[in-house]
Amino acid sequence: RFNGIFVVATNPLDVMTYITLKYSKLPANKVIGSGTTLDTARLRYILSEKVGVNTGNIEAYVIGEHGDSEFVAWSELSIGNIPVKSFSEQFNIEWDKETENVIATDVKNAAYEVINRKGATAFSVALALVRIVEAFLGDEKSILTVSTLLEDYLGVSNAYLSVPTIVGKN
């Protein structure tokens, strides 16, 4: 009997992860998708460039359906545990809805830019997968935005979407 974990990375990601769950007959905590882990990393990088702070000090998440309908959880964004609006005021950094729209668009379009320049996004996806597997194998209990089966999550059930999820051996 298979005793590992499936990490799905093919599109349409959330649908394929759900199908993997149904065919594998594994418990939901053993079938996850790469989700928006890469998009979240890209978001943190873009934010670090904007505010001049290391990505490790930025709490920001891209959540929802993997793909064009994903979105940034702006209300949860903090830098060094300070809400981004307070941080930007304190350090005199321009921050408004237009700034958020530009950043969100840059995150969404990053994959298309890579595809246009290199033909594929395989290396960056591989890095995201390595990060997820490291969290699983090392039982890190790291919070990653993987595609996970939601059950009564803000009214959503029986669907895979990317949300901040604790990733460890279980």
Catalytic residues: 66
Cα angle: 35, vertex 83, 167; to 5 degrees = 30
Q: Is 141 helix (H, G, I), strand (E, B) or coil?
A: coil
Residue 48, Cβ density class (10 Å: 0-12 exposed, 13-18 middle, ≥19 buried): middle
Helices (H), the chain: 13-24, 37-51, 84-90, 97-118, 122-137
Question: Which has the closest alpha carbon to 10: 111, 122, 110?
Answer: 122
Structure-token pair, residue 138: 């090392």
